[in-house]
Structure 1
Amino acid sequence: MKERLSRKNINMANFSEINSADDVISFSEKNQYPFVIKPRLASGSSGVRIIKDHKELNDFIKSNDGNLEGMLAEGFIDGVMYHVDGLFVDGRIRFIQPFKYINDCLSYREDMFIGNVPLEKDDSTYHLLVETTKQIIANMPATENFAFHCELWLTAENEIICCEIASRTGGGMISFLIEEMSGLNIDKAWLLAECHIQTEDYPAYSDEFLRFGCVCIYHLQEESCFLCQLSMRNLCGKIHFTGLIGDSYQGGEKSGLYLIGYVIEAKDQSAVICIL
């Protein structure tokens, strides 16, 4: 994906395939610190490391006994991360919506929640994200039907940098959020499209979307979890509890593996963000 898009004039961080300590040392010599190293085949931000200096690089190499096969190094982007989710049916985009992360995809490591809120269409960032995502999709192999989840940074210079795109629905509570705010079950609509069953009405953008947001929580004691459900129930369109009563949980393992998730509905986006 990165190799293909880098040849199509899509703004991306410098990157390199890593299979050895020599590979990552070479990358560090050609690129400034900090930089990111992560598994090429993983999900939910698992295994991601931000290397800030030469000492951290050496420590990282030693901690892995020099075995870095299957890794990817890329330049660190100082920006705010957004994601754009949508559905492609019969070769056309039928639904597309940008979202902003509240906290980030590494927040689970500190047992902090991660949230998602939709962007307003009047926001200039909305259009930058949508147009960049369309450009990215246009430069990927043609596919008739697919859902997509695209992650992008917005820098202080108002530049959009592509992180990655996947032909799947978003993880965490994103699919639940989209269904609650728009009525579209992306997974169901995708399946029906693959079966050539066109029964879905694909929703257009609405300001009503802005009354919704979602949150994933990674670490709660059983009592806290129960109280949290009681206090938030009147604000929630969807509660997704993945744990089992009596089991012990020590925090998140990856950003997509949360203990409990909520879709929140409030009077406006300011109220949603205050709840988060």
Structure 2
Amino acid sequence: MVDPEQTSTATAATTEAAADTPAHLDPAASPAHPDRRLVLIDADVAAARTAHSLPYQTFFVQRPGAPVQDLVDDHSGYYTVEFTHEHEHGYEQEQEHGHEHDPAPKEFADFVDQVLRPLSPMAVVGLSPAGQRAAAVANSLLGTGGIPAEDLERLTRPAPSVTPASAPTGLRGSAGTPTAKPGALFINHHSYSHFHRDGRHFLPTSELDVHLVTRNQFHGGVRGLAENPVTQVAMCDPEEEDRWRAACEWTLRNHPVGRVVAVHERAVLLAAEMRSKFGLPGMDFATATLFRDKLRMKEAVRASGAAVVPDFSALDTPDDLLNVDWSTGRKVIKSRWGLAAKDLFMVDTLDEAREVVAGLDLSGAHYGIEEFVTGRIYHCDSVVRDGEIRFSSVGGYLTDPAGYRPGGIFGTVLVREGELAKRITELSAAVLAALGIKDGTTHLELFHTPADELVFCEVAGRPPGGVIPPVIEWQYGFNIVEAQIRLDAGLDVSLGTRDTQGTDPAAPGGGTCGFIAFYPGGDEGHGIPQGRLKELGVVEHIATSGAGNGRGGVRHSTDFLDSYVIKAPDDETLLRRIDDIQDEYRTKDANRR
């Protein structure tokens, strides 16, 4: 399954990233240490800048309505929570109201227990009288060990008096008054910049108060947050499942959030869990499980008769290898919950399978085994609203997604008409009906065998990954990732404009479109001169400086070094242009990029 682990971040028809490793992927570029966490309550900009120079990953806690976007950087997070009884009264009035023995409201104590405890901070530091009282409560509840005295002194040192040219813009209005916008929790495993394209941002922050739970700085971070600020940010390491869940639950309990948004495969199930637990609209946990667990998925598709499904079995013990017929040849062992063609093994004999299984942890219902299917792999990407398919696009991969390798290629070409496209669209519709999706986007993959049979592979309840979204946008005039965000948020969705007559190949709907991508590695030349791109029909070049695993290998099926989106008046021209791009890209020339 092609997954959005690495997708287009280009903002123009031709964009190239810097050759050096981007700061948000380079631990040496930041003093932050994910295992050294510090919480600051009621900080100002000067204290925030000091914190960013210290060897900690910093999390800010501010009052609701307080401006916070000027505090955070690419490796920090922030929460808005009422941590004092003061509100608009002074401390003396707080004592008069009987809170002298209860320095922080219960909401804050719950926040400490549910959010800060899984965070395991070294210390909680208050930077105002009210913040200090709240920090004392937090440190007492958490039993924190503290930070060196010199770091504490630097953080609490009074800032020099300056007169700002203008007051910082608050997230909820200059007076701190909450807006009337509805709230949405966005569970995100992409870099924040992933959602910025062509000078606009996909997150509808003008229509929603967005509460973001996202990966920490070393896995994408929030670079670009200043240009499109959100209401709240919690940052987690990708594997900190308990922290993700705790941050989401606390947000839903303590903020007026009515929607949960997820566009990444790794976020789909947690988002559905939150919707089901809190009674919110959108894909529920039972439906999401059918889209994530490949065994349950295939059981449902086979039971419904929606599509031909290869023989398969759960693989919970080595004995389960005997559940499939080895006389029919090659089998595939893969994770039931995998993505981007990772954790996948091809085996030709039972002995080979036993050797592979000996190195796997089969506990926890994580693996399955199924018949290998020979044939070209196609994908069908759809938009569903109110249970009806409002848009579908069919494409055929240039190579097998599971065949990614150093120096290799990948890509897709749209299949816009003809009997095969019709059959694939109908199969996809039947599968989606069987799995019960009501609103969202989907990415289905299937095999077209030499015998002209369509065989189901798998389907995801999220947008396609890699460079497929830009291809769809260039062809049909809308971004399918943005469509998913707006569907999850309960907002209106535009599916673009199309030149249905196909008279203008460069216009949305005209001609056809596809892409070719190159994996890092290999000893071939790399790159195409800028002046040649237009001649080759390239409408977008996406260069990724952080591709590869740093050791000459490829991490997953969308770990591309260079990708080229191509438009053409017809299928024959598109394929010829793809061949020309591949030949030119391989030409050795030190000055080609």
Interval of TM-score (by shorter of Structure 1 and Structure 2):
0.7 to 0.9
Greater Cα offset, 231-240 or 164-173: 231-240
2:405 maps to which residue?
109
1:22 maps to which residue?
319
Q: Are the equivalent residues in 1 in contact too, given 2:515–2:565 (CA < 8 A)?
A: yes
Which residue, out of 238, 241, 244, partners 2:540? Answer: 238
What is the CA deviation profile of residues 153-199 of structure 1, one whole-angstrom value per residue up to 9, with x for unaligned ones?
11122211111111111111001110111111112122223334325
1:136 maps to which residue?
431
Q: Superposition pairs for residues 248-259 of structure 1, below 5 Å?
A: 248=550, 250-259=552-561
Q: Are the equivalent residues in 2 in contact too, given 1:94–1:202 (CA < 8 A)?
A: no
Q: Are the equivalent residues in 1 in contact too, given 2:407–2:523 (CA < 8 A)?
A: no
2:446 maps to which residue?
152
Greater Cα offset, 68-77 or 167-176: 68-77
Q: Superposition pairs for residues 76-87 of structure 1, below 5 Å?
A: 76-87=372-383
2:516 maps to which residue?
215
Which is strand-richer, 1 or 2? 1
State the AA in 1 paired with 2:528. Answer: C
Task: Count the aligned residue pairs.
Answer: 269
Whole-angstrom CA distance in 2 between matches of 1:56 and 1:112: 26
Whole-angstrom CA distance in 2 between matches of 1:174 and 1:111: 20
User: Helix, strand or coil: the match of 1:265?
Assistant: strand
Whole-angstrom CA distance in 1 between matches of 2:387 and 2:357: 45
Higher RCO (C-alpha under 8 Å, 6+ residues apart): 1
State the AA in 2 paired with 1:217. Answer: F
Q: Are the equivalent residues in 2 in contact too, given 1:118–1:209 (CA < 8 A)?
A: no
User: Helix, strand or coil: the match of 1:109?
Assistant: coil
User: Helix, strand or coil: the match of 1:7?
Assistant: helix
1:45 maps to which residue?
341
Please identify the structure whose Cα radius of gyration is greater.
2
Which residue, out of 255, 262, 275, partners 2:564? Answer: 262
Note the aligned Cα RMSD (angstroms). Answer: 2.6
2:462 is the alignment partner of 1:168: yes
Q: Are the equivalent residues in 2 in contact too, given 1:177–1:263 (CA < 8 A)?
A: yes
Whole-angstrom CA distance in 2 between matches of 1:205 and 1:140: 33
2:415 maps to which residue?
119
Q: Are the equivalent residues in 1 in contact too, given 2:406–2:521 (CA < 8 A)?
A: no
Q: Are the equivalent residues in 2 in contact too, given 1:237–1:264 (CA < 8 A)?
A: yes
Task: Give the unaligned 5+ runs of structure 2.
Answer: 1-296, 503-508, 579-593
Label 1:135 to 1:209 Cα distance change in 2 as closer, same or farther (>3 A): farther
What is the CA deviation profile of residues 129-158 of structure 1, one whole-angstrom value per residue up to 9, with x for unaligned ones?
000001111111242x20110001111222
State the AA in 2 paired with 1:134. Answer: A
2:254 maps to which residue?
none
Label 1:230 to 1:186 Cα distance change in 2 as closer, same or farther (>3 A): same
User: Helix, strand or coil: the match of 2:328?
Assistant: coil
Whole-angstrom CA distance in 2 between matches of 1:272 and 1:228: 17
Label 1:134 to 1:203 Cα distance change in 2 as closer, same or farther (>3 A): farther
What is the CA deviation profile of residues 172-227 of structure 1, one whole-angstrom value per residue up to 9, with x for unaligned ones?
100111011111111212222333432514456845454311122111589944x3
Label 1:12 to 1:265 Cα distance change in 2 as closer, same or farther (>3 A): same
What is the CA deviation profile of residues 64-109 of structure 1, one whole-angstrom value per residue up to 9, with x for unaligned ones?
1x63342110111112110001211233212101101111112313
2:368 is the alignment partner of 1:72: yes
Greater Cα offset, 198-207 or 92-101: 198-207
Label 1:58 to 1:222 Cα distance change in 2 as closer, same or farther (>3 A): closer
State the AA in 1 paired with 2:372. Answer: F
Label 1:228 to 1:220 Cα distance change in 2 as closer, same or farther (>3 A): farther
Label 1:29 to 1:11 Cα distance change in 2 as closer, same or farther (>3 A): closer
User: Helix, strand or coil: the match of 1:254?
Assistant: coil
State the AA in 2 paired with 1:136. Answer: V
Greater Cα offset, 105-114 or 2-11: 105-114
Q: Are the equivalent residues in 1 in contact too, given 2:446–2:458 (CA < 8 A)?
A: yes
Task: Give the unaligned 5+ runs of structure 1.
Answer: none
Percentage of identical aligned residues: 23
User: Helix, strand or coil: the match of 2:304?
Assistant: coil
User: Helix, strand or coil: the match of 1:77?
Assistant: coil
User: Helix, strand or coil: the match of 1:139?
Assistant: helix
User: Helix, strand or coil: the match of 2:408?
Assistant: coil
User: Helix, strand or coil: the match of 1:228?
Assistant: coil
Whole-angstrom CA distance in 1 between matches of 2:511 and 2:489: 32
State the AA in 1 paired with 2:514. Answer: G
Whole-angstrom CA distance in 2 between matches of 1:273 and 1:41: 34
User: Helix, strand or coil: the match of 2:355?
Assistant: helix
Q: Are the equivalent residues in 1 in contact too, given 2:313–2:368 (CA < 8 A)?
A: yes
Q: Are the equivalent residues in 2 in contact too, given 1:218–1:257 (CA < 8 A)?
A: yes
2:484 is the alignment partner of 1:190: yes
User: Helix, strand or coil: the match of 2:469?
Assistant: helix
Q: Are the equivalent residues in 1 in contact too, given 2:312–2:369 (CA < 8 A)?
A: yes
User: Helix, strand or coil: the match of 1:41?
Assistant: coil
> So what's the TM-score if we normalise by structure 2?
0.42
Q: Are the equivalent residues in 2 in contact too, given 1:20–1:67 (CA < 8 A)?
A: no
Q: Are the equivalent residues in 2 in contact too, given 1:219–1:249 (CA < 8 A)?
A: no
1:11 maps to which residue?
308
